Structure formats: structure tokens, C-alpha cells
Amino acid sequence: MKFRSVRQGDMPGVDAIIVPLFEDRIIPKALDSRVRAVVERISREAEVSRLYAVSAHHGEGPRIVVVGAGKRTEFDAQRALRIASAGVKSLWRSRTKRLALVVDSGAGLDAAHAARAAVEGVLFAMWRPEAHRTKDEDRRLPPLEAVLLAVDGDAKEAIRRGEAVGEAVNVARRHANEPANKMTPTALAAEAKRIAADAGVDCEILDAAKCRALGMHSFLSVAQGSHEPPQFIVMRHAGRGGKGYDAAFVGKGITFDSGGISIKPAEAMHRMKADMTGAAAVIAAVAALGKLRTRSNVIAVAPCTENLPGGGATKPGDVFTSMSGKTVEVINTDAEGRLVLVDGITYVQREGARRVVDVATLTGAIAVALGRHFSGLFGKPEGFVEEVAAAARAAGDRVWPMPLTDEYREEIRSDIADIANSAGRDGGAINAAAFLDAAVEDGTQWAHLDIAGTYWADLERPYTPKGPQGPAVRTLIELGERLARA
């Protein structure tokens, strides 16, 4: 599939045209008279004032798809992405080969940024989760060969970046979608090595023996009940050369989470194949930075294992020593994500990173607090947290800052060890963040993204199918690029 930019009035030989329509119903002037007439009729007859509502005309000539764009003053990267995605998703099962997409702008989003987000949206809609169905018609996508972006100015660079980011998000979605019997820690490590080689990024895999020698007993404690060997994935992008890292990304890589001895209810446990979405996000993001030749140095790690109730599994009440030297009492074996992350956070700090962002499907509590539309954002100092929030806004990810004070840090103190991995239900997402904070050293800027509410869509929406959503990938890439410009 090829993307290129054209003038808004120059869309010859296309099979379909996607037009965003804001609540002000101002139709782009560059559309030819026939298309304008169709859009005007749709704007009078259809429910285009509803955000992402799709209406289509199937008469002579190209199919015309109008997507409700909401208020022009609220137009941002996320909305630009979802408008494009909704339009393309409406073309599933069509025979569209050449597509024109009108890129409008509004509020503080310029044409280049809108074009970039639109490319990401097209690619987002060109991925479906039915990977293991045997009938082609169950997985059918439009056979897109060319996408023409009708946009003011040259969007060549915007297209290049949009393709890299959109593909990275889909890589993370594909990995999260795979069944746990196919996406084991070993399989994910092999995928990371392949992706890294394609992107020109260094990749190293630490096995259990190496992790044990480094003192990662908190991480290894989670792996004790599984026959699958744990894998600690390390990827390095040296974009500017020289010593040191501008940022470190740490992703939770639980390739299946049964809860261990503190076993989960059977309902929806099958979705725990995607408890490695954080790992998938950091792997995809650092590879995209490599492909984009971003001039920043970034290290990404993904501690990967299964969490199962085997004969050697960790028991509630067991105590382990983490890589930082702090002792951890395991109160609940289903609070395992934080056990692997603390050793990942310590590892990147030992490697010299002083800006750390971790990504994890960490707590159901964050979905209770924020629902399914925002990821929770924690960290310190406030300036770095806002830096990550700004990157998320620019990238089109939704995050919401959450509190983290000494009262919560006090709650995770153990009666017999330094810290406990659970402090009860109240403030569960914050207590989990406080546990991670115990591994953050003085002088380290740290942010934690809890994506447990946003990693998976339970409902089909106009702009996305059910299934994995790939949150945080765009944020991490944006942050890596911003640090390159700093």
C-alpha cells in the first residue's frame, strides 16, 4: 500500500473518497462539484453531527464516505486518527483499491500533523484480529493499493513518520492478539530479535541463569510455576551515538497470567494472553525509533514469563530479594506484574538510564477509576510526568495523571520485608505505582503508564474492532523523538 499527498481537488481514478465533516458543516472547498453535492446532501440527511458516525453514497463514480468529526475546536491527533480509521473500517469487505482521504485541520493541529495521524488511522483500520479463522471472508480487508491524502502542502515527511508509527502500533496489536500457546516468552523473544534486526536495533536476550546472576529474584519468582523458561529482552537504539541513554522503556511481559496460586476467576481469563501488551509496546516503539533513525539513545527491556500455579510456584507469604536489594513479600501472586517490573526498572538504571517510562497492564483498579478510554499516568517529578503527558497528547494517546504520595508508599510496607506486593483493594492502582516507585533511585525521572483499561476493546466501535488497541506505542515514539530534539 502506497501513500502520497495530492492537492484537495486532484483525486483522479479513486474508488472511494473519505471526507470528514465537522459540526459546523463547512465542506472543504477543494472538492469537485459532484462530490460537494453528495456531501451536502449527506450533511442534511445523515447523523453526521455524531462523532465518528459514518454515512456513505454508493452512486456512480467513487463511493463517498462522510465521517462525523465533531467540533472543529476539539480536533486533535487522536480524532484525526479515528476519523481516518472509521472511514477505512467502513470499507471492510469492499473492493476499494485506490482511496482518497481528505485531511482537514482545526484547533491547534496543523495539516502535516493531521496527515500523519490520518496515515496512522488508515493503518490502524487495516488490521483485523481474526488471525486464526480459516475462511478468508472472515478476515477480509479492502485490497488497498494506493491512498491519496488530499492535504495542503507537502506531507512526504508526515507520511513517512505516520507509516512507521502506524505499523508499530499494529505490531504491538498482533503480538497481544496471539494465543499464549503461540506467543510464549521464547516466541516473543524471537520476535523481538527479528524486529530489531529489521530496524537496525541491537537485541540481547537474558535467560534465567543470567537473570539470577544479576539478582533478579523478584522477576524470576513469577516464573517458578511455569514450564516455559523466562526471557528478559533487552533492545538498544543508538540514534545519536556516544554514551548514555536519553530514555528507557520497561514493558510488562506476562505472556499468560492465570494469577498463579491466587488464581483468577475463569471469566475472561483467556484475555490474559495479552498481559504482555506493555512488552509488545516497548518492543514496537524502540524498533520504530530505529526505523525512523531518531537521534536519541533508547534502551527498552521486557521481562517476559508466564504466571501459572505449578508445583514450584510462588506461594502467598514468600519473600524474595529484588535486583535493587530490597526484599519483597508476596501477598498476592496475582499482583505479579509489579514483581517483574521492579527488576526491569533497576536493570535500566544500572545501565545508566535516568529517564524511565514503564508500560503495563498492571491493575484492574485503573479501569475502575478511569474506565476504558484513558490510561493512568503516575510518576515523578511533576515536570517529567507532564513531559510524558504532552507527548501522549501530541501522539493521540489519552492519559490521565494520578496521585502518588508518601501515604501510599507507606501502605506497601511489609510486616516482615521491605515492601509487600499488595495493600488491598482501596487505591489499588496507586499502591501498585508506589510499589514500582520503591525501585526508582534518587535522580531518576520516572513515569508509569497503567494501560489495563485501554489495552483491549470489548466493544466494536466505528473506528476499531474488538481486540487489542496498542496503547502507549505512539507516546513512547513521540517521547523518543522529543528527546532527540532536546
Q: Which of 288, 291, 5 is nearest to 159 (CA)?
A: 5
Element of type H or E holding 178: none
Among this protein's residues, is 338 annotated catalytic?
Answer: yes
CB distance 425 to 452 below 8 Å = no
User: Rounded distance, CA 304 to CA 178, Å?
Assistant: 15
**Whole-number Cα distances in Å, 464 to 76, 125, 173, 457, 469:** 18, 7, 12, 8, 8
How big is the CA angle at 323 (ends 318 and 329), to the nearest 5 degrees?
Answer: 20
| Coil/strand/helix, residue 239 | coil
User: Rounded distance, CA 483 to CA 161, Å?
Assistant: 16
- Torsion angle in degrees (nearest 10) through CA of 422, 425, 316, 258: -100
User: Rounded distance, CA 397 to CA 471, Å?
Assistant: 7
Is the peptide bond between 468 and the residue preceding it cis, with omega within 30 degrees of 0? Answer: no
Backbone angles phi, psi at 29, to 5 degrees: -70, -25
Element of type H or E holding 6: strand 2-6
Sorted by sequence, the CB contacts under 8 Å of residue 134 that are 6+ apart come out as none
Q: SS in 3 state form for 261-289? A: CCCCCCCCHHHHHHCCHHHHHHHHHHHHH
How big is the CA angle at 173 (ends 457 and 400), to the nearest 5 degrees?
Answer: 55
Task: Give the active site residue among 338, 355, 474, 482.
Answer: 338
**How would you label 80-105 residue by residue, b for 16+ Cβ within 10 Å and e otherwise?**
bbbbbbbbbbbbeebebebbbbbbbb
DSSP 228: S
Q: Burial, 314: exposed, middle or buried (Cβ in 10 Å; 0-12, 13-18, 19+)?
A: buried
DSSP 106: B
Task: Give the active site residue among 97, 193, 264, 393.
Answer: 264
Q: How many other CB atoms are found less than 10 A from the CB of residue 464?
A: 21
User: Rounded distance, CA 167 to CA 164, Å?
Assistant: 5
Q: Which of 160, 161, 162, 159 is nearest to 150 (CA)?
A: 159
Q: What is the CA radius of gyration of the chain?
A: 23
Q: Which residues are catalytic?
A: 264, 338
